[in-house]
Amino acid sequence: MKDWDAAAMDWSSQLTAGYDRVREEYNWPAFEAMIGLVTGLEVVDLGCGDGDVTRRLARSGATVTGIDPSEQMIAVARALTQSGDIHYEVVPQEAPFAGLPNSSTDLVVSFMGVMSMRDLTPIAVGAARVLRPGGRLALALLHPCFSHSGMAWRKNNDGSILLELSRYATVSDVPGSITFQTTRENDGSSFAVSRQERTLSSVLTPFLSENLHLTSFEEPQPSAEAVETNRHLRRWRDVAPAFLHLEFKR
Ligand SMILES: C[S@@+](CC[C@H](N)C(=O)[O-])C[C@H]1O[C@@H](n2cnc3c(N)ncnc32)[C@H](O)[C@@H]1O
Closest-lying ligand 1 atom to the alpha carbon of residue 119: 19
Closest-lying ligand 1 atom to the alpha carbon of residue 111: 6
**Is 126 close to ligand 1, i.e. is its CB under 6 Å away?**
no
What is the C-alpha to C-alpha distance for residues 46 and 121, in angstroms, rounded to an integer? Answer: 14
**Is 46 close to ligand 1, i.e. is its CB under 6 Å away?**
yes
The tens digit of pLDDT for each residue in 44-72 reads 999 999 999 999 999 999 999 999 999 99
Contacts of residue 187, defined as CB under 8 A and 6 or more positions apart, other chains included, come to none
**Is 69 close to ligand 1, i.e. is its CB under 6 Å away?**
yes
**Is 93 close to ligand 1, i.e. is its CB under 6 Å away?**
yes
The tens digit of pLDDT for each residue in 189-234 reads 777 888 999 999 999 999 999 999 999 999 999 999 999 998 889 9
Q: How far apart, in Å, are the Cα atoms of 110 and each of 29, 60, 222? A: 15, 17, 20
Q: What is the DSSP letter of 20?
A: -
190-195 vs 213-218, strand pairing mode: unpaired
Quote the ligand 1 centre to 235 CA distance (angstroms): 26
Q: What is the pTM of this model?
A: 0.95
Quote the ligand 1 centre to 61 CA distance (angstroms): 23
pLDDT less than 50: residues of the chain: none
Q: What is the structure's pLDDT at 109? A: 98
Closest-lying ligand 1 atom to the alpha carbon of residue 50: 9
Contacts of residue 219, defined as CB under 8 A and 6 or more positions apart, other chains included, come to 143, 241, 243, 244, 245
